[in-house]
Chain A
Amino acid sequence: MISAAGLEALVVPALVLTCVAPVVLIYLVWRDVQEKSLW
């Protein structure tokens, strides 16, 4: 049986990683756009 603390330990790191993703993606795409890598 997973405890409340266990549930938190599973979800919070997952949420932090999910928050990092859009920041990294927008930065990388901004760099791509400078190099015209899609058109």
Chain B
Amino acid sequence: MMNADAVLPSSYAWLIIGLFSLLWIWLGWRLGRNNDTLDDYMLAGRKVGIGFAVATAMATWVTSNTTMTAPQLAYQLGIWGMVGYSLGAVGLILFAPLARRIREMMPEGYTSGDFIRLRYGNTAWRIFLVISFFYSLGWLISLGMAGGLLINALSGIPYVYGMTVIVVICTLYTVFGGLKAVIGTDFVQTILILLGVIALAVLVINEVGFDAIHAQLETERPELLNLLLPASIMFLFNNLFFGVGEIFHSNVWWSRAFAFAPGVGLKAYALAGVFWLPIPIVAGFIALAAPALGINVPSPDMVAPLVAGKLFGLGGAILVFVVVFAALASSLDSVLAATSDLIVKDIYKGHLRKNASGPELRKAAVAIILGLGALTWVLSVPKMATLGSLLHFTGAFVASTIWPIAVGLLFRKGNGTLASLAMVLGTASGLYAYFAIGFYVAALVSAAVSMLVMLFALMSKPTFDWAELSEARSNPDGEVS
């Protein structure tokens, strides 16, 4: 399917895709060639410095949603849409003290599954794994499909080609270099995204200006400037809890807590949150310039590329394409790596091959990353809208894990029965709210019910012994003989 509204000629798009693909794969190979142990491959040797740490947390949290949905929300929900989206930074900032604690309590842990198993036992662990895989699958499909849809919308390249390229490239460099490749490319991708967003915003301010944007909005879309929109305010809080649930439970963020050098986690996550916060506001602002430019917006998700194309022609279109490509790759590689870690440690070693050695797990990790890449591709090919909205649907699931994780990390109170109940009842009530009321309350309801259950834990006597967490030892698994 060709797209007549594409803002970038497909020949340019293929050239950009080719150049960056070569760069990512070269970086992946270069960073991964000294990977000796399982710790090197899965956790970048557990010594990632503060600069790389901030960049990888930022880049992973800047998905294609941040660069494309924030402008769309600004155009649909106005000021609260983009401010609400920027509150996604709260999850990163709240996770900062937890990341420090995770690194101290489990210096040789591997996954979020390790923590749940040691803290709450096998039943809670298995419930948690179901929630986590469901979420990872939703995120992988949403990124694969977004890759195909956005590359098609921007350049007219057919959906399947664009989706295939992004999935194959990310899978390849993640296989070559493990987490080191993911983190190294994340740094380059972060800089590209930031420079692209800055350039577009500065040009919009210079070419159009605040007064013209405001005057035209007031005439054409005054509701976007309204600060008292109840639906938008509800969206804001739901988005906040969804984001916190995503970050608290997902192994994408736990694997980084284990991988960052000692003393880095708290500062890195806090700084990443502060630097991430303004991005949706700046990206959203670009979209608000559309009425002042007299742009006819056929669908809200194309508003940012249309503004860039209208104002800066080919240069603007190239800029948007590079930003979107970097945003997609920096998240897809992270979800592939962290989900494969969870499968290697919690399914393969945890359930199937309990005595597997380090080298065996290393081989399994490569096969599992390739398998996940293939699964993402297969599920993204049919371009089913229902699969695309799966990530949206997972809000009810992930928000139920916030309180069991926070209580479990900070207090000796609470046991596996309560944690399991909190996750099951939270998810069930969140799903009920999703269908009975709407998507914008699912995460809120789930977090609230799960919190009520965990309040019983906080009223109980402290029974857990922290020493049990340090069972998560890498030796001899981490050694390669």
Contact with A along B38-58 (1 / 0, CB 8 A): 000000110111111011001
Cβ A4 vs Cβ B279 within 8 A: no
Cβ B214 vs Cβ A11 within 8 A: no
Contact with B along A1-35 (1 / 0, CB 8 A): 11111011011011101111110111111111001
Residues of A within 8 A of B279 (CB): 18
From 3 to 45 in chain B, residues with beta carbon under 8 angstroms from any chain A beta carbon are 31, 34, 44-45
Residues of B within 8 A of A8 (CB): 210
From 189 to 247 in chain B, residues with beta carbon under 8 angstroms from any chain A beta carbon are 190-191, 194-195, 197-198, 201-202, 205, 210-211, 213-215, 222, 225-227
- The stretch that binds A, out of B179-187, B300-308, B341-349, is B179-187
Which among B187, B201, B210, B271 is the interface contact of A29 at CB below 8 angstroms?
B187
* Cβ of B153 under 8 Å from chain A: no
Closest CB in chain A relative to B257 CB, distance in Å: 16
Give the CA-CA distance A30 to B309 in the complex, in Å.
34
Give the CA-CA distance A24 to B198 in the complex, in Å.
15
Q: A1-B227, A17-B278, A29-B55 are in contact. Are A38 and B44 (CB under 8 A)?
A: yes
Q: A7-B214, A15-B201, A38-B48 are in contact. Are A2 and B79 (CB under 8 A)?
A: yes
Cβ B285 vs Cβ A11 within 8 A: yes
Cβ A15 vs Cβ B198 within 8 A: yes
* Cβ of B168 under 8 Å from chain A: no
Contact with A along B257-290 (1 / 0, CB 8 A): 0000100000000010011011101100100100
Q: A7-B210, A17-B274 are in contact. Are A38 and B183 (CB under 8 A)?
A: yes
From 338 to 363 in chain B, residues with beta carbon under 8 angstroms from any chain A beta carbon are none
Cβ B214 vs Cβ A3 within 8 A: yes
Tell me the dominant secondary structure on chain B's binding face.
helix
Give the CA-CA distance A1 to B223 in the complex, in Å.
8
Which among B52, B79, B197 is the interface contact of A18 at CB below 8 angstroms?
B197
Cβ B194 vs Cβ A28 within 8 A: no
Cβ B51 vs Cβ A30 within 8 A: yes
Give the CA-CA distance A7 to B285 in the complex, in Å.
9
Give the CA-CA distance A9 to B332 in the complex, in Å.
34
Q: A10-B281, A17-B278, A18-B198 are in contact. Are A39 and B180 (CB under 8 A)?
A: yes
Cβ B52 vs Cβ A21 within 8 A: no
Closest CB in chain A relative to B343 CB, distance in Å: 24
Cβ B51 vs Cβ A31 within 8 A: yes
Cβ B201 vs Cβ A27 within 8 A: no
Cβ A37 vs Cβ B180 within 8 A: no
Give the CA-CA distance A16 to B408 in the complex, in Å.
38
A32 to chain B: closest residue by CB? B49
Cβ A22 vs Cβ B51 within 8 A: no
Q: A14-B281, A25-B191 are in contact. Are A37 and B225 (CB under 8 A)?
A: no
Question: What is the size category of the interface that chain B forms with chain A?
Answer: 35 or more
Residues of B within 8 A of A27 (CB): 51
Residues of B within 8 A of A29 (CB): 49, 51-52, 55, 187
Q: A7-B214, A39-B34 are in contact. Are A1 and B222 (CB under 8 A)?
A: yes
Closest CB in chain A relative to B452 CB, distance in Å: 36
Give the CA-CA distance A30 to B281 in the complex, in Å.
28
Give the CA-CA distance A22 to B279 in the complex, in Å.
12
Which among B34, B47, B202, B214 is the interface contact of A4 at CB below 8 angstroms?
B214
Give the CA-CA distance A21 to B183 in the complex, in Å.
17
Residues of A within 8 A of B282 (CB): 11, 14-15, 18
Closest CB in chain B relative to A34 CB, distance in Å: 9
Residues of A within 8 A of B281 (CB): 10-11, 14
Give the CA-CA distance A17 to B34 in the complex, in Å.
36
Give the CA-CA distance A35 to B202 in the complex, in Å.
35
Residues of A within 8 A of B277 (CB): 14, 17
Interface, chain B (partner A; CB < 8 A) = 31, 34, 44-45, 47-52, 54-55, 58, 79, 83, 86, 180, 183-184, 187, 190-191, 194-195, 197-198, 201-202, 205, 210-211, 213-215, 222, 225-227, 261, 271, 274-275, 277-279, 281-282, 285, 288
Can you identify 7 A-B contacts, CB atoms within 8 angstroms?
A2-B225, A4-B213, A4-B215, A18-B275, A20-B275, A24-B54, A29-B52
Interface, chain A (partner B; CB < 8 A) = 1-5, 7-8, 10-11, 13-15, 17-22, 24-32, 35, 37-39
Extra pairs beyond A13-B278, A24-B271, A28-B54 (12, CB < 8 Å): A2-B227, A7-B79, A10-B281, A11-B205, A11-B210, A18-B198, A21-B194, A22-B194, A25-B51, A25-B54, A31-B51, A32-B51
